[in-house]
Amino acid sequence: MGSLSSLNSICFDRGSFVKYQDEIKCSRVKKLCVRASVATSAPQSLQFEELKAQKSEKFRIGVLGASGYTGSEIIRLLANHPSFQITLMTADRKAGQSIGSVFPHLVKQDLPDMVAVKDADFSNVDAVFCCLPHGTTQEIIKGLPSSLKIVDLSADFRLRDVGEYEEWYGQPHKANELQKEAVYGLTEISRPEIQSARLIANPGCYPTSVQLPLIPLIKANLIEVKNIIIDSKSGVSGAGRSAKEANLYTEIAEGIHSYGITRHRHVPEIEQGLSEAAKSKVTVSFTPHLMPMSRGMQSTIYVEMAPGASTEDLYRHLEQFYEKEEFVVLLKKNEIPHTRHVRGSNYCLMNVFPDRIPGRAIIISVIDNLVKGASGQALQNLNLMMGIPENTGLLTVPLFP
């Protein structure tokens, strides 16, 4: 009655993927066998056993600070992740509550109730996403079991110089030894270091949108490291979920809200990354703005090109540098990146344009500040740390309109 066809499946075994072939019967009526990670045409009992085996082999994930925007995005992204299962969620002010009561859009997720950090049991956890505010994260991470893999979404481990951290964040660093261990997790730039790390300092949203286009150009000596001007705009979710007068609807709606002029805390993070690329001190002019939208980020960057370089050179280098990357996309020439085209996704769209001023270029980079600018990049990093394909759980198509 049937013919034999081969179906490539993937078996997950704690960080390693082993391909094997199952022979399945395809009926004469349905001659098309589709390649997939799960054999949908296999007998129901076989499917159940495979799914049960997969579930037992999942990495157990803790989300610290699950009641904030970045925490909820982690949970959303993990909802369809085949290799990660949330076994712990903390939220001190929401302890004892379900995630659905705090975020109704997650009401169908079968997850443990949130607990206070002090009551958290890490014996059933392999890795942690830390989505807590800066300043509180250091001591909490310092007290976690050393066996855990950690991706920290706060700013506490991003600045290598703890003195600089104290200058910009107004308090001394309380985990100097851990700071030495932390790896800055700009995925496309530091992939080898991330793969072998235990603690990742996940980049900030503005620094991600700025460094992805600039670091390759600086390393290639195609732009000058002086007179870099960065004009960045973010959705209000970038300011967090806590109640603040400046973030009220009537304060933000129908206007543009500039803030942190010359003193935004992402400045030293941006300059650290660019200085490392240039192998010399880089100082930038950076001005952020809140826009009347919930999410999305655009950085418009004005640069002076190196002598003899052209916008065509800049474009070609970025094209070559990111040619094989999944999430960083250089658009076709003259196409303008827009935040609405990355909403809800882990993509960064960018492009290069000639300025009217000779010798200068304009670079536009857009991301979703909560995904590529936070939780999506965090998941990309943990995938790498756990030895699984880094795009796992991140192939959501942008939401439009």
Model pLDDT, residue 353: 98
* Confidence check: pLDDT of 41 > 50: no
Q: Which residues contact 248 (CB under 8 A, 6 or more apart)?
A: none
Q: What is the pLDDT of residues 11-38, one digit of tens each?
A: 334 343 333 333 333 333 333 333 333 3
Average pLDDT on 256-281 reads 96
pLDDT grade, residue 56 (50/70/90)? low
Model pLDDT, residue 224: 98
Q: What is the mean pLDDT of the chain?
A: 87
Model pLDDT, residue 244: 73
Task: Pick the closest to residue 210 from 193, 194, 189, 240 (CA basis).
Answer: 189
Average pLDDT on 319-341 reads 98
**Residue 351 Cα to chain centre, angstroms:** 20
pLDDT grade, residue 252 (50/70/90)? confident
User: Is pLDDT larger for residue 134 or for residue 229?
Assistant: 229
Q: What is the pLDDT of residues 131-186, one digit of tens each?
A: 999 888 999 999 999 999 999 999 999 999 999 999 999 999 999 999 999 999 99
User: Is pLDDT larger for residue 64 or for residue 33?
Assistant: 64
Model pLDDT, residue 33: 34
CB atoms within 10 A of CB 334: 7
* Confidence check: pLDDT of 240 > 90: no
Spatial contact of 289 and 220, defined as CB atoms under 8 Å apart: no
> CA-based Rg of the chain, rounded to a whole angstrom?
23
Task: Count Cβ neighbours within 10 Å for each residue of 39-50 and write b for 16 or more, e otherwise.
Answer: beebeeeeeeeb
Which of 63-67, 128-132, 241-245, 377-381 has the lowest average pLDDT?
Answer: 241-245
Q: Is 205 a catalytic residue?
A: yes
3-class DSSP assignment, residue 372: helix
**Residue 7 Cα to chain centre, angstroms:** 33
Task: Pick the closest to residue 323 from 186, 188, 130 (CA basis).
Answer: 188
Please spell the DSSP secondary structure of 77-112, one letter per residue: HHTT-SSEEEEEEE-GGGTT--HHHH-GGGTT---P
% of the chain at pLDDT higher than 70? 85
Partners of 61 in beta bridges: 86, 127
Model pLDDT, residue 242: 66
Catalytic, out of 11, 130, 131, 205: 205
Q: What is the pLDDT of residues 190-207, one digit of tens each?
A: 999 999 999 999 999 999
Model pLDDT, residue 247: 72
Model pLDDT, residue 1: 41
* Confidence check: pLDDT of 89 > 60: yes
Average pLDDT on 233-244 reads 79
Please, how many CA atoms are within 13 Å of residue 138, restricted to the half-sphere of its CB?
21
User: Is pLDDT larger for residue 376 or for residue 52?
Assistant: 376
* Confidence check: pLDDT of 39 > 50: no
The encoded tokens of residue 105 equal: 């859009």
